[in-house]
Structures are given as structure tokens and as C-alpha cells.
Amino acid sequence: MNVLTATNLTKSFGTGESRATVVQNIHLSVRAGETVLISGPSGSGKTTLLTMLGCMARPDGGEIQIQNVNVNSLSQAGLTSFRLRHIGFIFQAFRLIPSLTAIENVQLTMNLAGLHSGSRKACMLLLEELGIAAKADKKSEVLSGGEKQRVAIARAIALNPGLILADEPTGSLDGASGKAATAALVKTAKEKGAGLIIVSHDPRIELFADRTLHMEDGRITEESRRTPTSA
């Protein structure tokens, strides 16, 4: 089952002669439990594509369906509510609130969705699954990079979204921490049955992805699949 289907996506910026098309006629689908890596040089349109798939920017043309909902038809308020419930985001810089503890950062997502009752117990279970329960009550500002990334993963999946989007999730981590965090993210997404899209320059992530899509000049120019013995 596809959790995401994007058809003929196009996005441009600027006006007149300075107008530039940064995403051109992209077609993309992601199945439940599948990990897709989007790679390519800076300026290839990867991040712009991710912001459209994450309902943070509207395409100029084309259609996006997430869990059988045509998000193009949603109002701005509807998009905000839909993002919270159905899309989990993981960023290179983690974007945790330094003054909050690890578990409070995860609880925040559940509280925004109105799920106050039992949220600590549910969040503690997520932290346990990711091997970081021992740091639950530590302020996020004192955690290591790898620990922060695991908290960010827990926050992203707190509401069991159908789609998880990760933008350069290993960019702030050393090699060992990056590999461990990627493995935890891919494992968790598969177990939850979520589609996972990772945008990254890190070639090591190809070892974890079911498919790798290469972007150049706003287009997907190449697709490769990982064989079961590659990882």
C-alpha cells in the first residue's frame, strides 16, 4: 500500500526572466514500511521537493496524496493539522528545545495534538525502543549528538505518522553515531509501517535504503534498488 503518491510535481521561484524551476515533473510513490533515499548535489531541488511532500510548501503544479488524502485540497489550517497527525519530521540540527528534557521534547508533540493523558508513559516506551530511556529526564542541551537524534526520532514517530521525512539526518553526527541513528530510524519506521524518505548527501545511507533516487536540476534522473545482501 502506498502511503505517498506524488504526481507531476513542479515548483518555481522568482518572477519574469529571473524565474527558475527547481522541481520539474516529479513522480514519486512510497510504500508503507519502505525507506527511500533522495540524493543529489546542492541545488538539485531535493529540499524543495521534501518541503512539498511535507506540506510545508504548495506545488505550482501536480498532486500529492498522503494516506489517500489529496493534500492539495486542504486549507492552510487543514494542512497544519494534517502535518501534525500524519507526517513526522527529522532535521539535521535536531530542533529540540534545549531547556526541556528528552521526554518533554517528545511529549510536546503529543500535547500539541491534545493527547495529554498517558503521554509520559507512551513517550517513555518510545525512548525505550530507541535505547535512550536512561536519558529521559536529562535536558536535551546536555545530550550527545547521537542521543539528540534518537530523541528527534522518538518525537517524529510519537503520533504514529504514516510518513516520516528526514532532511540530512546524519549531517551533524560522526560516522558511528550517524550509522547507528540511521539504523534506528529505518528499523523504527519499518516496524511502525511508516513510509520513510531521507534526503541526504551521505552515501552510507544507501546501505539502509530500499531505493535510492538521484536528483539533478530538479528531476529524478536515476533510481537504484538495494539488494538484500547490500546492508
Domains annotated for the chain, with CATH where assigned, are: 2-13+20-225 (3.40.50.300)
Taking the C-alpha atoms of residue 42 and residue 115, their distance in angstroms, rounded to an integer, is 39
Q: What's the whole-model pTM score?
A: 0.92
CA distances, 75 to each of 48, 52, 58, 66, 87 (Å): 20, 15, 11, 15, 16
Return the C-alpha cell found at 135: 536519558
Residue 81: left if φ>0, alpha if ψ -120 to 50, beta else—which one? alpha
Taking the C-alpha atoms of residue 160 and residue 146, their distance in angstroms, rounded to an integer, is 22
Mean pLDDT of 105-125: 86
Taking the C-alpha atoms of residue 200 and residue 213, their distance in angstroms, rounded to an integer, is 11
Examine the pLDDT at 71 and tell me if it is beyond 60: yes
Number of alpha helices (DSSP H) and beta strands (DSSP E) in the chain: 6, 10
Examine the pLDDT at 226 and tell me if it is beyond 90: no
Residue 80: left if φ>0, alpha if ψ -120 to 50, beta else—which one? alpha
Examine the pLDDT at 228 and tell me if it is beyond 60: no
Return the C-alpha cell found at 87: 507526517
pLDDT in tens, 200-223: 988 889 999 999 999 999 999 999
Mean pLDDT of the chain: 92
Mean pLDDT of 167-190: 91
